[in-house]
Amino acid sequence: MLMSIEVMLNAAGLAFVIAGARWSQADGQVMFLFILAMAAAEVSVGLALVLQLYHQYGSLDVDAVSAMRG
């Protein structure tokens, strides 16, 4: 779930930093800072969604919300 997203974002940031270190440019670290900000935003919204899911359904099963309201 959300933890795996963190791992994937971290892997992308690791690739950026390694590329930046390979050519000794600061651009890779700048991109990692952007990834860090994006991960923080994504985690806050995602955890709020998880709390709402638990509040509405009493469950953490994502399949419980597979149907839309409309």
Partner 1 sequence: MLAVFYLAGAVAIVSTALMVTRLNAVHALLYLVVSLLAVAVVFFTLGAPFVAALEAIIYAGTIMVLFVFVVMLLNLGERATAVERQWLAPGMWVGPAILSAILIAEVAYILTHASGQSSVATMVGPKQVGLALFGPYVIGVELASLLLMSALIGAYHLGARQPKVEIRHDLNTAERRAAPGGDPVRAGAGRPAGTA
Note the residues at the interface with partner 1 (CB under 8 A): 2-4, 6-7, 10, 14, 17-18, 20-22, 24-30, 32-34, 36-45, 47-52, 54-61, 63-64, 67, 69
> Quick check: 39 and 6 in contact, CB under 8 A?
yes
Which amino acid would we find at residue 6? E
Please state, in angstroms and as integers, the Cα–Cα distance from residue 34 to each residue in 6, 7, 69, 70, following that order: 14, 16, 35, 36
